[in-house]
């Protein structure tokens, strides 16, 4: 058997803030959404133009307690074509939480505190 990774789900408290963050910080756009008519939850799928992989934002109405995202060891990684430009944007956004200059990578956090690794394209 050969499986293909298609999406990774994270829970978010503020769906609109998360959508804005992922669009601005990483260029991810909404490609699909599932939600009941009563508005009690939503599954919003984000993707970039090149990857066959999606990020699923799971939102539940009324949730106010933060989700346990597993800490910095549990994270998604993104490669960027221009690491200096990405770093400048993320620095301006104030979302950089850790840098490893020797390895040419750094981490940012999303609105829910989830860690995202930023690497240069190779």
Mean pLDDT of 95-100: 97
Kindly report whether the global pTM for this prediction surpasses the value 0.75: yes
Does the pLDDT at position 72 exceed 70?
Answer: no
Looking at every residue in the chain, the average pLDDT score rounds to 93
Domain ranges within the chain, ordered by starting residue:
1-61, 75-122
What are the start-end ranges of the H helices in 10-119?
A: 15-26, 83-93
Q: Does domain 75-122 have CATH number 3.30.720.110?
A: yes
The domain at 1-61 falls in which architecture?
Roll (3.10)
Provide the token pair at 45: 């799928």
């Amino acid at each position: 058997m050969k499986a293909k990774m298609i999406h990774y789900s994270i829970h978010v408290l503020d769906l609109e803030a998360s959508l804005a963050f992922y669009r601005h910080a990483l260029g991810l756009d909404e490609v699909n959404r599932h939600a009941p008519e009563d508005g009690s939850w939503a599954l919003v799928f984000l993707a970039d133009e090149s990857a066959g992989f999606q990020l699923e934002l799971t939102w539940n109405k009324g949730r106010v307690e933060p989700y346990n995202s597993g800490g910095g060891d549990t994270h998604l990684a993104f490669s960027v074509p221009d690491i200096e430009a990405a770093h400048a944007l993320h620095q301006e956004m104030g979302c950089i939480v850790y840098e490893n200059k020797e390895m040419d990578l750094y981490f940012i956090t999303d609105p829910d505190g989830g860690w995202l690794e930023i690497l240069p394209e190779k």
